[in-house]
């Protein structure tokens, strides 16, 4: 039984959809809302609106300082409405309310950060090697941006695209995932309230084969920013062969957490549990591979087992709940398949590997003592609450294991040896290395991956430049006429 209806946001207005689909509450498995299924025609209208807003109207004439003030206001509105947005995200994705509230409240800081940077990214004056010529380099908005985000941490993952794009003066069409799009469709109301001109921000949802394909291949799109999985990323890269859009890809990971025997084991255990079981393991930076020094492996696994089995699983809207359901039934089916195959091939189940009683897409916190790197639980990104454990004897072995993956998004190192921490941070092939901490982010710090974890970076000072293109302006400062090139002198 559905009791809510959501709409796309196109050209400053809520748009009546031509088609809808049911969105499912993962904690019950029942439909709770109707979502708009954007068609190719809907995408065309959204991109056309963004293109108009870019080329004419108030957005084009607005100063960078004024754009920044709108972003700051949007950040304030996100923070003020965090409770409502969090409730929607929890209802539509199953992510526990204690995490959605905290994360969305912090998302406001990203918009404030980029609002402050809007009038700080500058061009340049070039001391050219030719007389009587003055050359400047302008930084101008790259154009219409197509942003595609997954359902997990969607307001955060949108902010690291919307923030720098709008600060740079671009316009944007944002596609929310068809899995759990409610909070982003509701966020559109805040965009309108903040005062962004019509067409500057357009938000819709729909399916990849029509909505997503049309958006990322659209001839009026100049920039694509995507967060998701490698298979979808490959399709997007193929799509952008049509428009040659500049593309960044923030993809998944199989992130190693390396625990040495000299680490503070209590602190490391808390970080490992947070890194893999927070958000039910549905995080691109989930620390899903634990590499632990053999001399403390048994002791450390015992600590993890106690902590995992004490995690309170339940209604994600209950503030006391520590872990909620997986977002989709297909994700749980995939995890069950990989765990069963890994155990059949020799993995030792330390804890979990079961469905808790009741309805919904729940899966127990799971730890597998893998024994070797060839098991699917070690190789595959599961995007769920499954930790694979491998032992090592030397620092060199730990580094080999850490880098034994086609991914390279995040990593963690726990040690009291400062020199070792620096060596590991230098040699691990990952875009983020956390030392004696895990799963910490800031708008000031860029993140992104190596290998199958993607291309480009999001966050930090330099991101705005990725939403601009340079224009070289040559001015002749001489009063002398240009000589006729075909008259010999």
Question: Looking at 178, 250, 293, 458, which residue is catalytic?
Answer: 250
Identify whether 140 is a catalytic site residue. Answer: no
Task: Identify the CA nearest to 210 among candidates 170, 239, 171.
Answer: 239
Other Cβ atoms closer than 10 A to 101: 18
Q: Per the structure block, which two tokens stand in for 167?
A: 């600060």
Q: What gap in Å lies between CA 394 and CA 406, rounded to an integer?
A: 22
* Angle, CA 151 vertex, CA 150 and CA 152 arms, to 5°: 95
- Give me the DSSP letters along 248-300: EEE-----EEEE-TTS-HHHHHHHHHHHHHGGGG-STT---EEEEEHHHHHHH
Q: Which residue has the tokens 């050219």?
A: 128
- Give how far Cα 117 sits from Cα of 48, 162, 197, 423, Å: 27, 13, 20, 34
Choose among 239, 207, 196: nearest CA to 43: 207
Q: Would you call 109 exposed, middle or buried from its count of C-beta atoms within 10 A (0-12, 13-18, 19+)?
A: middle
Beta strands in 352-404 (DSSP E): 366-369, 386-392
Active site members: 250
């Amino acid at each position: 039984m559905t009791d809510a209806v959501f709409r796309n946001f196109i050209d400053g207005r809520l748009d009546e959809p031509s088609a809808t689909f049911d969105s499912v509450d993962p904690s019950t498995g029942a439909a709770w809302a109707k979502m708009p299924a954007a068609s190719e025609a809907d995408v065309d209208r959204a991109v056309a609106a963004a293109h108009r807003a870019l080329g004419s109207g108030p957005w084009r004439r607005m100063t960078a300082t004024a754009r920044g003030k709108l972003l700051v206001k949007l950040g304030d509105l996100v923070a003020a409405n965090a409770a409502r947005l969090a409730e929607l995200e929890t209802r539509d994705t199953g992510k526990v309310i204690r995490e959605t509230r905290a994360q969305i409240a912090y998302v406001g800081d990203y918009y404030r950060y980029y609002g402050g940077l809007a009038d700080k990214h500058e061009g340049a004056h070039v001391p050219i090697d030719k007389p009587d010529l003055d050359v400047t380099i302008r930084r101008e908005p790259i154009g219409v941006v197509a942003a595609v985000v997954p359902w997990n941490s969607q307001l955060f993952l949108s902010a690291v695209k919307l923030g720098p794009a709008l600060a740079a003066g671009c316009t944007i069409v944002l596609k929310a995932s068809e899995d759990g799009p409610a909070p982003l469709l509701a966020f559109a109301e805040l965009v309108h309230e903040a005062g962004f001109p019509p067409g500057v921000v357009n938000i819709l949802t729909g399916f990849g084969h029509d909505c997503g394909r049309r958006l990322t291949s659209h001839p009026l799109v100049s920039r694509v920013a995507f967060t998701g999985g490698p298979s979808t990323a490959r399709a997007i890269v193929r799509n952008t062969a049509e428009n040659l859009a500049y593309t960044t890809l923030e993809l998944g990971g199989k992130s190693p957490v390396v625990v040495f025997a000299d680490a503070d084991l209590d602190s490391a255990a808390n970080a490992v549990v947070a890194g893999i079981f927070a958000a039910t393991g549905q995080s691109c930076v989930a620390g899903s591979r634990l590499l632990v020094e053999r001399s403390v492996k048994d002791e450390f696994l015992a600590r993890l087992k106690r902590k995992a089995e004490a995690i309170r699983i339940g209604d994600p809207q209950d503030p006391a709940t520590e872990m909620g359901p997986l977002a989709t039934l297909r994700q749980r089916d995939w995890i069950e398949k990989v765990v069963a195959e890994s155990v059949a091939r020799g993995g030792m189940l330390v804890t979990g590997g079961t469905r808790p009683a009741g309805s919904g897409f729940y899966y127990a916190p799971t730890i597998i003592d893998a024994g070797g790197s060839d098991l699917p639980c070690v190789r595959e990104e599961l995007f769920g609450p499954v930790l694979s454990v491998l032992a090592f004897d030397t620092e060199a072995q730990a580094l080999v294991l850490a880098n034994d993956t086609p991914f390279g998004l995040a990593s963690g190192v726990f040690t009291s040896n400062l020199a070792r921490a620096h060596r590991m941070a230098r040699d691990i092939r990952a875009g983020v290395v956390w030392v004696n901490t895990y799963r910490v982010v800031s708008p000031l710090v860029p993140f992104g991956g190596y290998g199958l974890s993607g291309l480009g970076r999001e966050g930090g000072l330099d991101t705005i430049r990725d939403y601009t293109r340079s224009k070289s302006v040559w001015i002749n400062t001489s009063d002398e006429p240009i000589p006729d090139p075909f008259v010999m002198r």
